[in-house]
Amino acid sequence: MSEFFSIFQYQFFQHALAAAVLTSVIAAMVGTYIVSRKIVFIGGGITHASFGGIGLAYYMGLNPFAGAAVFGILTALGIEWISDKGKVREDSAIAILWSLGMALGIIFVFMTPGYTPNLMSFLFGNILTVSLTDIRVLLAYAILLIILFGIFYRPILYTAFDPEFARTKGIPVARYRYMMSVVMALAIVLSIRTVGIILVLSMFTIPQITAMLFTRNFSLVMPLAALWGVIGSIAGILMAYVLDIPTSAAIIFFLTMQFLILKGILLIRNHILRK
């Protein structure tokens, strides 16, 4: 048992736990917006398109996460613009940007001379290598989001729920939607460090749908999703350590199990109450 707890002494493990908590808080706020607006597919498009930025940044010798952020933001703004103008089918445009981003990422990584970066760490994340700087960035972004949602809660909610009606009330809907596109893109890119491109979307959806089992109030879904996210990701990290399996996969597995178990409990409870 003492051997189990000894892991908490290591700095890399403390960093991993801090990153899990902060990523869960960020994903809870932004993911509630994504799930409520039913734009999970857009989140997928942003996530995968950002891989193109990672590849290009590697090719040019720049910070790969800066490249991912630029590609992610441009993709998010592009999708919102397409959705706003309605000239191209939104789902088709997302699918194009999704696959184009992945293709560009692979091409640029392939073209990068000499050292070939470890693609697996971008695709599946590696929370155990998170640095103190990464944690500071995650913390700053989490604080920024709390302030943003605190101040702009009402227009964010109103423009997400019924943008047409919000326009009739003089709310600058496009401005808020574009702002949220940038917020989404940055949140997703920052979370790639923790769980990777393939699995990051789960952090933005599973804790939220778990929270929505208990409440349909936007302002309560966010903290509850953060709670389920924190519990699921810490449990996942510990499970990964005990079973010696990849951490990001363990986190997603635990988040899913958490949802299924709670859903099952609620179904049984409702069944008993109906009798």
Binding mask 215-254 for another protein (x = CB under 8 A): xxxx--x---------------------------------
Rounded-to-10 torsion of CA 117, 121, 122, 127: -140
Residues 150, 270, 271, 275: which binds another protein (CB under 8 A)?
Answer: 150
Cβ(196)–Cβ(250) under 8 Å?
no
Question: Does 113 interact with another protein (rule: CB under 8 A)?
Answer: no
Q: Which of 82, 106, 171, 182 binds another protein (CB under 8 A)?
A: 171
Q: Which stretch binds another protein (CB under 8 A): 106-114, 117-125, 164-172, 239-247?
A: 164-172
Q: Is the separation of the CB atoms in 16 and 247 below 8 Å? A: yes
Asked if 263 touches another protein (CB under 8 A), the answer is no
167 binds another protein (CB under 8 A): yes
Q: Quick count: other Cβ atoms within 10 Å of Cβ 154?
A: 10
- Using CB under 8 A as the binding rule, whether residue 4 contacts another protein is answered as no
- Is the separation of the CB atoms in 163 and 83 below 8 Å? no
Give me the 7-36 binding string for another protein, x by CB under 8 A, dash otherwise: -------------------------x---x
For residue 270, state whether it binds another protein (rule: CB under 8 A): no
Q: How many CB atoms lie within 10 A of CB 60?
A: 10
Q: Is the CA virtual torsion 11, 195, 97, 155 positive or negative?
A: negative
Q: Is 225 within 8 Å of 31 (Cβ atoms)?
A: yes
Cα–Cα distance between 34 and 58 in angstroms, integer?
Answer: 29
Which sign, positive or negative, has the C-alpha torsion 188, 189, 190, 192? positive
Nearer to another protein, 160 or 251 (CB): 160
| Contact with another protein (CB under 8 A) among 27, 188, 212, 235 | 212
Q: Binding string to another protein for residues 61 to 80, with x set by CB under 8 A, is what?
A: --------------------
List of residues contacting another protein (CB under 8 A)? 32, 36, 38, 86-87, 150-155, 157-158, 160-162, 164-171, 212, 215-218, 221
